[in-house]
Amino acid sequence: QVQLVESGGGLVQAGGSLRLSCTFSGMGSDDYTIGWFREVPGKEREGIACTSRNDRSKWYADSVKGRFTISRENGKNVIYLEMKTLKPEDTAVYYCAADFQGAYGSSWLSAFMDYWGKGTLVTVSS
């Protein structure tokens, strides 16, 4: 059974940094893409970053490109989202998600995801 567990959310001032973690298990194979979404109440869940199934390429939404970095810890079932130069508009619940159907980049959409974590709240104060 696939499980994704996020951690690392919290309150940070604008301009600050935060690192989220997603520990996952039960994947069964290496043929998946894994990454991050975020959701603000009243808005659609937004895909912001993912790493390809072979970890050779990474994709970022324009809204976070240059400020956020997705990475995977070698040999461990953990990915990270390093967030820098945070802005109040980055305030959201951040979700880890995995897909086994090949979603990546422009197809990194919530409707295509196979598994989700429960989310972790990030609040950026101005």
pLDDT of residue 59: 96
Q: Look over the chain and give the mean of its residue pLDDT values, rounded to a whole number.
A: 94
pLDDT tens sequence across 45-77 = 999 999 987 678 899 999 999 999 999 987 889
Residue 116: predicted pLDDT: 97
Neighbours of 65 (CB within 10 A): 11
8 A C-beta contact, residue 60 and residue 114: no
CA dihedral 78, 103, 50, 43 (to 10 degrees): -110
The answer to whether residue 80 scores a pLDDT higher than 80 is: yes
Segment 17-52, tens digit of pLDDT:
999 999 999 988 888 999 999 999 899 999 999 998
What pLDDT is attached to residue 55?
74
